[in-house]
Amino acid sequence: MPRTYFCQFMLKVNNLTKYFGNQLILDNLSFTVEDSEIVALVGPNGCGKTTLIKIIAGLEEKNQGVINIDKANKKITTGLIFQNYRDQILPWKTVAQNINFSLSLHTENWLEKRYKINSILRQTQLYPYRYKYFYELSGGMAQLAVFAKTIALNPGFYLFDEPFSAIDYHSSLKLQKQFLDLWEKTKTPTLLVTHNIDETIFLADKIIILSNLPTKIISIINNPIPRPRDFSCLGSNQAHELKKQILSYTTGFLV
């Protein structure tokens, strides 16, 4: 069923263009992410998906185009998660200390930080591991701790660059479900880079198919599967039809 609530864009990308030297990477991209929506970016390796995420996050310069991330014309904070958790943690600190460090950048109130740390550790089922260092955790558990560190800041928008791909299959499935359960409580708008079709169908409301370089938008597909979802939805006729539709655009560069 299509949504019927009033549309409010949280992210608007208009005519975004990026060159590396003389090579055109991103060719005049325009798309939106609505409030309470997860949008998946799907495309071949090397097409500039990570570059696009970095540009939106303000970590990379663009050559042309306009990007707005706001709500009711007010700027909002962005939570960013990359593929490898090791790029986003302080390895000499425990799980709880990493979350505390992130919160310390935003508040000095000790009681407020303690409450938020304990709350997010319980929400993510990481409370028993709060004194563990990251090298003591499995890959899936470590990536979940990065999610906890990001969620604790209560950002108004998520930018995810293949956050489930660097861990084993079963850990990836578990983490996807844990994220979706947390997301259902806040409906934080999210832009997700992925190359996994099942992950795309399970998580996304809208799917943006990108081409090979120079990267253009091939198609934007709405996911008809209703929420809330569990993994049984992947066996539905809707999921099979959606997978066929995605594959019709992506055969040759998706695994």
| pLDDT by residue, tens only, the chain of 255 residues | 334 344 566 899 999 999 999 999 999 999 999 999 999 999 988 899 999 999 999 999 999 999 998 765 556 788 899 887 778 889 999 999 999 998 887 777 788 888 889 998 998 889 999 999 999 998 888 988 998 999 888 889 999 999 888 788 888 898 899 899 989 989 999 999 998 999 999 999 999 999 999 999 999 999 999 999 999 999 999 999 999 999 998 775 554
3-class DSSP state of 247: helix
Q: Which residues, 6+ apart, have CB-to-CB distance to 54 below 8 Å? A: 60
What is the C-alpha separation between 19 and 41, in angstroms, rounded? 19
The answer to whether 231 touches 202, Cβ cutoff 8 Å, is yes
**pTM (2 decimals)?**
0.88
What is the C-alpha separation between 128 and 22, in angstroms, rounded? 52
The answer to whether 188 touches 155, Cβ cutoff 8 Å, is yes
**H-helix or E-strand containing 82?**
none
Question: Which class does domain 1-45+52-76+156-244+248-255 fall in?
Answer: alpha beta
